[in-house]
Amino acid sequence: MPPATTPSTLLGADRIPPHLRRRLAITLWDFSWYTRAGEGEPFADPEAACAEAVERGYTALRICAAPLLTSGVLGLDPRVAFSGLGTAPDGGVYGRGTRWYDAPGGYALDVRERLLELLAAARRHGLVVVLSSWEYQQSSAFAADERWWRAMDAVPVAQRYDVLADAWDRLLVDVRSAGLDVVVAFVELHNEVDFSLVPAWDEGGAAALARLRGRHPQHLVTASWGKPPHLDMASLGTGLDVAQHHVYAYGVLDALQARIDIRAEGTEGFPNAALRALLRDDAPTPEAYGRPEPWRFEATVITGQMVHGYDWIDPDRWDLWLYEHYGEHRRAMEEAIDARLGAVAAWARRQGVPFVVGEGWIGYTPLHGTFEEGPVGRALAERGVRRALRLGAWGVVPTSNAAPHHPLWADVAWQRRVNALVTSA
């Protein structure tokens, strides 16, 4: 592991509003703060969730503010009944073995009202919030009906950045009227524009962002990339106020996913022999298990094969394969993190903007898999955090899997230690 050298100067410090903390230790709450908000669930009480974040050393939350829903720009009622991905034939919920998609639903929530409640709670606990949107990636897939999704889908693809800018404009006016401007760290037009149902960034993204900035100059505005073009960062152009990019080094995980063909759709003979060897002994066939309603797959980026595979994977068998093969990929994974962080930091330095790692470090694993939460994953995550800080990062996540809806939340000591690296920088 690289030594804990003194971090370099904070990049883009002169662009950061003076009331904001100089370093952001970020916990990724995504859309789960409203899809896992039923009685007894992790986000049932925003006040308690914020208190838990502070206890673990966090200074910032990163969330989907659902601007297309909460702003009223599409004429939607912000009160939504949530069902998750639906009920499987055995009575359990689809997505039970996944991260982020294991939402049981069974309640209704006024998301706009809860958003303002969450921002107020964050302010009381000294937290700031990164506002983003996952709506063209998965948010509406958890609703009990398809109205939210259909309203978004009706927007012509070429106009989606403009509609998002209009939505943010309205929502930020509401946030300011509620006296909560001070809580906003920065705003992302959309999460992972390269992996969402929006046009390529150069097809209207930059123009929409500039228009939003003109209306709300008090806020930093940007967009995020799931896989930044680290070999050609210049292709992003100019105009982003924050270099907020995600740094995943799939490596051994990618090798496993390719071997078992779990992220594809419609593969003949699924599940293949390699995947069957990793499934629980009582796993039903895909035909017997069924799948969520078709519109839910229109509204999200996951596939039916992922739902079946992750729901019925044996976590021990999955983790064992990763541990057995990690040595073959370790060096490449470490170098990938170093190289990608270096490219993003260099681009941010040339642009004169702060840079943030809002997601990382290994990738999408089953809910009960412990590879990323174990000694190997934690060491890789700490390597990434330390490297990002040495390069002058403004904000960083310990790992994408450190949030109230993930098992790692229970490891309070590790989160405190890693977050202390960030805040002490």
In a domain, 130, yes or no: yes
pLDDT value of position 70: 98
In a domain, 1, yes or no: no
Long-range contact set of residues 108-113: C-beta below 8 Å, sequence gap at least 24: 108/79, 108/80, 108/81, 108/82, 109/34, 109/37, 109/79, 109/80, 109/82, 110/78, 110/79, 111/34, 111/66, 111/69, 111/70, 111/78, 111/79, 111/80, 112/69, 112/70, 112/71, 112/78, 112/174, 113/78
Q: DSSP labels for 79-129?
A: EEEE-TT-B-TTSSBTTTTSSS------EEEEHHHHHHHHHHHHHHTT-EE
**Distance in angstroms (rounded) separating the CA atoms of residues 159 and 197:** 12
Ranges assigned E (strand) in 125-180: 128-132
In a domain, 320, yes or no: yes
Cβ-Cβ contacts under 8 Å for 269 (sequence gap 6 or more) = none
Question: Does residue 291 contact residue 308 with C-beta atoms inside 8 Å?
Answer: yes
Q: Which residue has the tokens 């809806």?
A: 405
pLDDT value of position 3: 40
pLDDT value of position 153: 98
**Distance in angstroms (rounded) separating the CA atoms of residues 222 and 132:** 9
In a domain, 3, yes or no: no
Q: What is the tally of structural domains in the chain?
A: 1
pLDDT value of position 8: 64
Question: Does residue 175 contact residue 208 with C-beta atoms inside 8 Å?
Answer: no
77 Ramachandran zone, left/alpha/beta (phi>0; psi -120 to 50): beta
At residue 53, φ and ψ (nearest 5 deg) are -65, -45
In a domain, 322, yes or no: yes
* Structure token digits, residue 100: 């982020």
**Distance in angstroms (rounded) separating the CA atoms of residues 1 and 337:** 13
Per-residue pLDDT of the chain (425 residues), as tens digits, is 444 444 468 999 999 999 997 899 999 999 999 999 999 999 999 999 999 999 999 999 999 999 999 999 999 999 999 999 999 999 999 999 999 999 999 999 999 999 999 999 999 999 999 999 999 999 999 999 999 999 999 999 999 999 999 999 999 999 999 999 999 999 999 999 999 999 999 999 999 999 999 999 999 999 999 999 999 999 999 999 999 999 999 999 999 999 999 999 999 999 999 999 999 999 999 999 999 999 999 999 899 999 999 999 999 999 999 999 999 999 999 999 999 999 999 999 999 999 999 999 999 999 999 999 999 999 999 999 999 999 999 999 999 999 999 999 999 999 999 999 999 99
In a domain, 110, yes or no: yes
In a domain, 335, yes or no: yes
**Distance in angstroms (rounded) separating the CA atoms of residues 44 and 290:** 30
Which CATH number do you get for residue 303? 3.20.20.80
Instruction: Go through the chain and tell me how many residues it has.
Output: 425
In a domain, 290, yes or no: yes
**Distance in angstroms (rounded) separating the CA atoms of residues 395 and 338:** 16
- Identify the domain containing residue 210 by its residue range: 13-424
Q: Which of these, 102, 119, 126, lies nearest to 65 by C-alpha position?
A: 119
3-state class of 19 per DSSP? Answer: coil
3-state class of 386 per DSSP? Answer: helix
224-225 β-sheet, strand order: 221-222, 184-188, 128-132, 60-64, 24-30, 395-396, 355-357, 243-245, 224-225
Amino acid at 103: A
Residue 398: CB atoms within 10 A of its CB come to: 30
